[in-house]
Amino acid sequence: MSEAFGATSTTDDVLAGIDLSGKRILVTGVSAGLGVETARALAAHGATIVGAARDLKKAEAATATVWESATAGGSLELIELDLANLASVRRASDALVAAGKPFDVVIGNAGIMACPFWHTSDGFEMQFGTNHLGHFTFINRIAALIKDGGRVVELSSAGHRYADVDLDDPNFERTAYDPWISYGRSKTANVLFAVEFDRRHRARGIRATAVHPGGIKTELGRHAYAEEGALQRRVDEMNAELTKAGKPLLKLKSVPQGAATSVWAAVVAAGDAVGGHYCEDCHVAQVVPTAGELMGGGVFAYAVDGDHASALWARSEELVGEHFAA
C-alpha cells in the first residue's frame, strides 16, 4: 500500500476512499499547522476528533476548518493540555480516564523546536520536557483507553540526527545548551518512546510508530526562523552543500503534504508494517549509518535501538515520578 504514496502525497491523497466513521482519534497540538490539518483530514472522513491544545481560544479559532470539512459523523472536541506542565498533563489524562471513552488512535503531534534555554513548570529542559516527557506521561496515563488493535503515532523529525538522548544529563545541567542539540535529543526520544511503547503493548494489537513529517513552514519554526525568509535561506544553504555532495535536494512540503505521513501511519498503513519503526514520506524508513549527513532520508540506529528505548523509558519514569506497567 505504501508504494502508492510518497513525499508529495497529501492527506487527501492517502485518505482517499477511507471511511473513518465510528473512529475516535486524539490529536495533540491542534492550535496550528500540522495538528489542525491532521484533525481536519481525519474529521473529513468521518472520525470523531479529540483535539488537545495549551491555548483553547487559539485552538478554537484555528480548528474552524475542521468543522467546515467534517462529514456526517465527523466531529471535534477540544481539551486543555499543556505538555510543559505535568499537573496539566495529569488533569487532562485523569479527565479522559474518568470519561472512559476509548480511542482508536492517539497522535502525539504537539511540539516545540530550537527554543532558547528555559525550563518547564517542573524544571525540565523545555524541549525534552515538552516534546518527550509531556507526551510520555500523557499517553501512558491514557494507555488503557486505547482499543485493542489501536495505534499510537509520535511525531519525530529528521532532526533526531542532531543528537542522541543523554540519559545522564537530560536537562543540560552539565552540558552547554545548544537549541538544535536539545531538539535532536527530544526527537530521538520520540522515536525511542514509540519503539518501547510498541513492544509493551503489541500483545493487545496496539502498535506505535514515529514519523518525520518533512521540512514545512509552520509555527514550529518560530524560534529558529523568526526572521522573514530565514527558513528558505537555510534551505538554500543546505541545498548548496547537497549539490556539492551530489545528494538529492531538500524541498519544503506544504502542510497537507507534511501531515500525510501522520494520517497514513495512523489509519492507512498496516500496524505490523509500521509498529516499532520510524516512517517518512508515507513509508517505513531504512536504518542508515549514524556517521552521515545531519539531514536526509532514513533513521539513525540509536533512535530505534530496543535496549536504548528501554533505558530511556526507565529514566523517564524516574524523572516524572510515575511507573507505567506494560
| 71 dihedral zone (left: phi>0; alpha: psi -120 to 50; beta) | beta
What is the DSSP pairing of strand 283-284 with strand 146-155?
unpaired
| Vertex 156 angle, CA 95 and 108, to 5° | 15
| Candidate list 162, 183, 225, 278, residue with the active-site label | 183
CA end-to-end span of the chain: 31
Q: Assess whether 183 carries a catalytic annotation.
A: yes
Q: Which of 271, 316, 269, 263 is nearest to 141 (CA)?
A: 316
195, exposed or middle or buried, with CB in 10 Å at 0-12, 13-18, 19+? buried
Cell 514515529, located at residue:
210
What is the DSSP pairing of strand 146-155 with strand 207-212?
parallel
Q: Which of 200, 208, 283 is nearest to 6 (CA)?
A: 283
Lookup: cell for 34: 500540522
User: How far, in Å, CA of 156 to CA of 214, rounded?
Assistant: 10
CA atoms within 13 A of residue 295's CA, in its CB half-sphere? 17
Asked if residue 197 lies in contact with residue 252, where contact means CB atoms within 8 angstroms, the answer is: no
User: How far, in Å, CA of 23 to CA of 123, rounded?
Assistant: 37
Asked if residue 76 lies in contact with residue 49, where contact means CB atoms within 8 angstroms, the answer is: yes
Gyration radius from the chain CA atoms: 18
User: How far, in Å, CA of 280 to CA of 240, rounded?
Assistant: 23
Residues tagged active-site: 183
